[in-house]
Amino acid sequence: MKNIKDRQTYYGALDAQNKEFMIREYSAGNGDNTVEFIKYLQSQRPGQRIVLIWDGASYHKSDDIKEFLASVNDQNEPEYRAIHCILFAPNSPEQNPVEDVWLEAKNFVRKYWHLCKSFNVVKWLFKFFTNHLKFDFPKLQQYVPCL
């Protein structure tokens, strides 16, 4: 495969109610792209309350994110916020069902590596496997009370 040093950043969200996975690619993981991804989620679920349960990446706690959340939540109490954020325990990928999606997608790409003549094909295969598919992992059930 060519371009072995190329990288791609993906943001993904698993809808705990209907088990649909949504994915978008970005140039990097940062506050600006996180805000853009949250806006994308809002466009996919207009008028619905969004609860984000995420790892403690530094850009998830950035000033960009804090300002955006303050603007959409208008100082509402947590149960009335348009977007509510809950952090996983630090360094706990075993709590995160999205990590399971990433693993299944990587295993899918590994299975069909022989079709990948370039990094663009790898990216296409990864997005093809994940985008809008339904995933139901046992650990997802522990978050249903948050919804």
Domain boundaries, the chain: 9-138
Q: Is 19 left (phi over 0), alpha (psi -120 to 50) or beta?
A: left
Q: What angle do CA 109, 38, 95 make, to 5 degrees?
A: 60
Domain spanning 9-138: CATH superfamily: Ribonuclease H-like superfamily/Ribonuclease H (3.30.420.10)
- Confidence grade of residue 5 (pLDDT, cut at 50, 70, 90): low
**Residue bearing the bigger pLDDT, 69 or 59:** 69
Top pLDDT among 23 and 123 is at 23
Does pLDDT of 45 surpass 80? Answer: yes
The answer to pTM > 0.85 is: no
Q: Residue 26 above 90 pLDDT?
A: yes
